[in-house]
Chain A
Amino acid sequence: MSMIEFNNVEKYYGKFHALKNINLKIDQGEVVTIIGPSGSGKSTLLRCINGLETVTSGQLLINGYDLADKKTDMNKTRKNVGMVFQHFNLYANKTVMQNITLGPQVVLKQSKAQSEEEAHKLLELVGLNEKANSFPDQLSGGQQQRIAIARSLAMKPKALLFDEPTSALDPEMIGDVLNVMKTVAEQGMTMVVVTHEMGFAQEVGDRIVFMADGSILEDHSDVAGFFKQPNDERARVFLSKVIKHM
């Protein structure tokens, strides 16, 4: 059974057709990068996976639970799927430590001591142990994003979603965040990454999905092959534009 499975999913915002007949299966431990021009539905697809958007029709199975079914308890399924946002969205009223431990304490009912012990391990992983008592607005964008990754990992999710995690960062911060993501991927985490970082997609991704106008046009396990020779004309045009700027 796939961990994440889209079957004929359609999504409308009013009259706007945001996702068109999406069929996508993601297995445990896979790292899938999603690329495509802006407005192609990449973020919408990602946000559907943890219920921030609801699908209009079709079937969206997460660990076998259908998110399109109103009877599915969204809070329960969300526990298994973490999300890292473009603008980090750290809790502004909490310290770094509290940002990481709040979910485990409130949702997983962990003790303060236990959640803090695990938070220190995660801070070690993202290389920011000395920032435990800082507030988010005291950190750089890159540091905030690494904390956001630590916050998601603290929930011990089965899958992590990344919505353009490096798009809002200054260029010199991007490497640190990508390195953390690579480490997480190497530990076997299932990851779905919407990104413009073609280097990351090639190096870390097991699979690449190209979207345009709400549809999936390409879906390849041979990532390097896709970059050399995309089948779809729009993918070719997109890659030529992106790579020119690299």
Chain B
Amino acid sequence: MFDIFANYGGQLWSGFGYTLLSSLYALIGSLVVGTIFALFEISPNKVLRVIGHIYVEIFRNIPLLVIAMIFYIVVPQYIAKIDGFTAGTIGLTIYTSAFIAETVRAGIEGVPVGQMEAARSNGMSYGQSMIHIIMPQAIKIVVPPLGNQFINLVKNSSVLAFLAGFDLMYQGNVIASTTFRTTDTYFAVGLLYLIITLPMSYGMRYLEKKWSAERSED
């Protein structure tokens, strides 16, 4: 396995870089988009609620590969030319954002109703109550499930391999088909994914522990 690194290291690390980059874009993008749709879903405004609901139900119930393919093949035909990396990253962002919307919504709804009522009768507007009271409490509820979503996102970025996205999985496929050393290659690829996901796993554990310790100190 180590000679795969010796001979094809450049290719593997390049794939690693694209995977990391795609994951990072999609992570930030899906967090922003997901939070916006979560706020839509719990909004007092009925139209926004319906929009949020439709968005979530569509994109979490279609396979990621299908969403990515639509951006890779359909969108370039009718709208704008985009490469495999971009198409895959957009698909990944939209797909993941639907799950994040549900996670964030559940987190906000996990904050007792009395907190919002107290903030409102304290004179704060809906937005001020959200910012100062509801969201800071929701974040602590949301972090563990959100961590799982982010780890899934990194692994799901391997969908780029189908779209010539030059990611880690794509490079692995190329190396395996030239060398026929499938076992060693895919072990190497798996190892490189772990380099990204394991620190995330432990980071989440650390945060969870830290916050639960803070709570019991309080």
Contact = CB atoms under 8 A, between A and B. Distances in A.
Contact of B123 (A52, A78, A92): A78
Interface string B12-31: 00000000000000000000
B120 interface: yes
A51 to B, nearest CB: 8
Interface stretch (B34-42, B56-64, B130-138, B160-168): B130-138
A52 B35 CA distance: 26
A124 B111 CA distance: 30
A151 interface: yes
B121 A82 contact: yes
Contacts, number: 63
A31 interface: no
* Interface range on chain A (Cβ under 8 Å from partner): 20 to 34
A187 interface: no
A84 to B, nearest CB: 9
Interface in A115-164: 135, 137-138, 148, 151-152, 155, 161
A94 B118 CA distance: 13
Contacts of A234: none
B122 interface: yes
Given A52-B117, A85-B118, A87-B114, A93 B137 contact: yes
A93 B114 contact: no
A106 interface: yes
Contacts of B119: 91
Contacts of A85: 114, 117-118
Contacts of B115: 89, 91-92
B123 A75 contact: yes
Given A85-B114, A93-B137, A135-B218, A78 B128 contact: no
A122 to B, nearest CB: 14
Interface string B137-159: 10000000000000000000000
Contact of B133 (A82, A83, A93, A152): A93
B218 A137 contact: yes
B124 interface: yes
Interface of A: 50-52, 75, 78-79, 81-83, 85, 87, 89-94, 102-103, 106-108, 135, 137-138, 148, 151-152, 155, 161
Given A75-B123, A92-B137, 11 more contacts: A50-B121, A52-B117, A52-B121, A87-B114, A89-B115, A89-B117, A91-B115, A102-B124, A106-B124, A106-B132, A107-B122
